[in-house]
Amino acid sequence: MSKLKKIFTSLYAIFAIATVIFTLVIYNQTPEFSSIEQNGNYTYEFIHGEVREISAPSEEGEIQLVVKANSGEEKGETIIAPVSSMNNFNTYEVGDEVQIYKMMEVATGKTSYETADYYHQGGLTWIFIIFAATTILIARKKGITAILSIIISLTLFYFVFLGMIIAGYSPIFSCLIFTLIVTLLTIPLIHGFNKKSLSAITAIFIGYILSIYIAFLFKDFAGLGNTPGEEFRMLGIMYPNIGLSDILIASLFMGAIGALIDTAISISSAIFEAVKEHARQTFKKIYKIGMEIGKDILGSMINTLLFAYLASAMPFLILIALSQGSTLSELINMDFIALELTRTFIGAISLVVLIPITASISAYVFTSGAGRQN
């Protein structure tokens, strides 16, 4: 094991332990925000269960489900849960797992139930198992580390990013802490404790700083305000003291993170292989290799960003397209569409700027000192 790898591994272990301690501290902090909608006269809870019977629609069109509860105080009992008016487009069948919204009046103990939606956890668990098995079967060791990376990212998103926001920290600061931790923990895990990972991490951190600045700049250019979407307005109504502007910036920034990481790793990995094949390389030659690779992946990565955001907005786009008299100008000026386009362009320009940065850092790392060692 090289000296660099020993140092890298030791620092990684220390950082991982520090992350666990930090996560526990954040998790145990007192929540800062309370909803304006909270009412001490009622308690609310979600439980899930299995559909046993389905009634015929009433004259008003209401359908009642007879559900055996699989969680909560009612576990094992049979309850009547009318179908929620918000989800009356779902077609339920006997045997379906459903999510039940339970509301209880504190003073009287009177309880009401309503079928909210399908229960997704069981299906998502099987999807993850199929994904994990396929990944490990094809990618072997790399597949295992990729799965661990996903688990780490999701866990830290819940316990660190959301935990810090609930505790009252700035959403931008919380987003930066979350992304820095995820980057430092996942890249060495997947790509190894070597100069390839070191150069990629360095470039990514610089890319993060630039991306945050671009997000601030483009937010004002596009005139997004603080609530460019129904979900932002709902959040602001329920929690008036929360920083909607900071959450918007964090949202714009986080949309570019995945593409930044992929680009930096792709360039650094290609340079790493070039150095292995041809040990005697100058800074200029390695930089040129990095730039050519970056240019090749730029178009496909921007399309990846665009299609991801178009997919998230697809129902709304179809709704607008079906409306009579909608012009392209009207479409672009809708807040939700403006938000998605701004996210795409922030990610795109961040990628463009990151390419020469990654190429320069990788060329320097691989041509300095023991740069040809792993």
CA distance 169 to 247: 11
Quick one: which H or E segment has residue 59? none
Domain boundary assignment for the chain? 3-28+140-367, 42-119
Helices 3-27, 195-221: crossing angle, 10 deg rounding: 40
**179: pLDDT strictly greater than 90:** yes
Nearest-angstrom CA–CA distance, 322 and 318: 6
pLDDT of residue 285: 87
Q: Which of 26-40, 70-84, 191-205 has the lowest mean pLDDT?
A: 26-40
pTM above 0.85, yes or no: no
pLDDT tens-digit series, residues 333-349: 777 788 888 888 898 89
Radius of gyration of the chain from its Cα atoms, rounded to whole angstroms: 25
Residue 260 in contact with residue 204, Cβ under 8 Å?
yes
Tokens of 258: 């995945």
* Domain 3-28+140-367 belongs in CATH node 1.10.3470: no
What's the confidence (pLDDT) of residue 40? 62
Q: What would the two tokens of residue 149 be? A: 């990376």
Tell me the CATH architecture of domain 42-119: Beta Barrel (2.40)
Q: Could you say which DSSP state residue 36 is in?
A: T
